[in-house]
Structure 1
Amino acid sequence: MPPSHRTGTKADFPWWLVAAGAIGIAAAVAIAASDVYGQILSTLVKGLWVTLFVTVVAFALASALGLFIALLGLSNSQMLRQIARFYVEIIRGLPILVLLFWIAFVGAPAFVAAWNWLSLPLQAAGLVEPMQVRDFSLLWRAILALTIAYSSFIAEIFRAGIQAVDVGQIEAAKALGLSRYQRFRLIVWPQAFRTILPPYGNDFIAMVKDSSLVSVLGVADITQMAKVYASGSFRFFETYSIVAYVYLLLTVGLSLGLRALERRMRRDRAA
């Protein structure tokens, strides 16, 4: 077995990070020295905040929904377990782009129609106005689609992490008289989180990249802003090079932060 693969050897020096850092610094200098790149970057920054908003909100909602689905999948009820499995398998089987289009152009109009039908008594009393499809913004349709798509993956991460906790510890907590909620909060979740963190963090990084899909709906994220700018200026090389640079800054930075957090948690656990 090669020395770099033997157990207990030191990790390789991150030459890849040195190379990436050097390229990143060179790119930053080039952007600062060029009026064209500077103008493109100032334009794209407006869409960066939309990208971050979509990513954070969709991932938070997907985490909450994913945890709910995971708990259903671990329920003592066979019917609830089957419902959770049905949801996970169906949603995971759909490409995110297809789900995005379905939610935006099928799900949203259906929701509006259902809401208008259910609120007929309120409309007759003059308490609410009929809802229009345009009232359901494309931004929130995109967030809803990403929430549903990622909740199925996060549900499986949570389920696996929870099931990795030693059953003996849960039984001991029961013997001490802890309620189901107390067992989950004090015993199960702290241990499951260590197992969950790496894939959970990777899903967040993937969400940053997949948030670019909202541009197909015309949502003004960084990718959409780049598309509009490049089509008007015909500076495709410069524009999409800046887009790639910004996404790499986000994803590589998050990846390094995640690794640092994992190392810290391992040290704390060892101590």
Structure 2
Amino acid sequence: MDVLLNNLDIFVEGFKNTIILFVVSAVLALVLGTIVGAMRVSPVPVMRAVGTFYVNLVRNTPLTLLMFFFAFGYPKLQLGNLSFTTLAIIALSLYTATYVAEVLRSGFNTVPVGQAEAARAIGLSFGPTMSLVILPQAFRAVIPPMMSVFIALLKNTTVAAGFSVAEAGTIRSYLAERGEPAIIVLLWVAAIFIVLVSILSVIQRRLEVRWRVAR
């Protein structure tokens, strides 16, 4: 307990940045993943091809390599000065969006075909049909796998520690300079991550209960 209390400033700062990385990346990944997921089932061949290419390319690229590109390759393109934290958010969002898209695509398959046919029968085009009819039902069907994606995102934020982003993954190296035992520090970091994952699990269960009947 002394390790935690004596270094509370480092723990608070590290996990504050971890939560910022997680929340911003989760929102961006959800938006982008929804768009890509819709493209994957679009009746337009070009949109399907673009969505498939993006998912296959990014999902099959290791996150560390994606981080490496944004940390060291992006600055060489001279497209603007962005902080390492911002670049880490972009990398995490692009990577996680592919999994969000695939989860949603599986959710689309749970929606009866008659729903889309009925929407088209009353004159709705693909966009309104997707946003008003298909997506609300698909989201309800994929709450557990979607939350698993976000839990993975929370843990993936530690990869940013290797690219000059001060978050939970850097706590051990900071406290090593203070002479704190590494194993105790890592155990505390793991314990706090378990608490954060447990909070996400509680949110998942509440969303399942709230939306179960609506499906």
The letter for the 1-side match of 2:11 is L
Gaps of 5+ in 1: 1-30, 116-130
Contact 2:116 2:134 in 1 (8 A): yes
The answer for the alignment partner of 2:133 in structure 1 is 187
CA shift, 1:252, in A, is 1.9
For 2:118, give the aligned amino acid: A
User: Residue 70 of structure 2: SS of its match in structure 1?
Assistant: helix
Residue 227 of structure 1: how far off its partner (Å): 1.8
The C-alpha deviation readout for 1:217-250, integer Å capped at 9, x for no partner, is 1211122133211233142122111111111110
What are the equivalent positions in structure 2 for 1:143-158 lying under 5 Å apart? Answer: 143-158=89-104
The residue aligned with 2:201 is 255
Cα displacement (A) at 1:265: 2.4
- Does the aligned pair in 1 maintain the 2:3–2:180 contact within 8 Å? no
Report the residue type matching 2:4 in the other structure: Y
Report whether the alignment pairs 1:232 with 2:199.
no
Match for 2:65 among 61, 74, 98? 98
- Cα distance in 1 for partners of 2:3, 2:52 equals 51
Identity fraction in percent: 32
2:157 to 211, 217, 230: 211
Distance in 1 (CA, whole Å) between partners of 2:89 and 2:121 is: 43
Partner of 2:24: 57
**Bigger Rg, structure 1 or 2:** 1
- What is the rounded CA distance, in whole Å, between the counterparts of 2:98 and 2:131 in structure 1? 22
Q: Is the Cα–Cα contact under 8 Å of residues 41 and 105 in structure 2 kept in the other structure?
A: yes
2:55 maps to 1:109: no
Where in structure 2 are there 5+ consecutive unaligned residues? none
If the length of structure 2 is used for normalisation, what is the TM-score?
A: 0.91
State which drifts further: 75-84 or 205-214. Answer: 75-84
Structure 2 residue 124 is matched with structure 1 residue 178: yes
Over the aligned positions, Cα root-mean-square deviation in angstroms equals 1.9
Q: Which runs of 4+ in 1 moved over 6 A?
A: none
Q: 1:79 to 1:176 in 2, by over 3 A?
A: closer
Q: Is the 8 A contact 1:162 1:192 kept in 2?
A: yes
* Other-structure match for 2:111: 165
TM-score by length of 1: 0.73
User: What's the offset of the Cα at 1:179?
Assistant: 4.3
Tell me what 1:40 maps to: 7
Report the Cα offset of residue 140 of structure 1. 0.9
Aligned positions of 1:54-93 closer than 5 A: 54-93=21-60
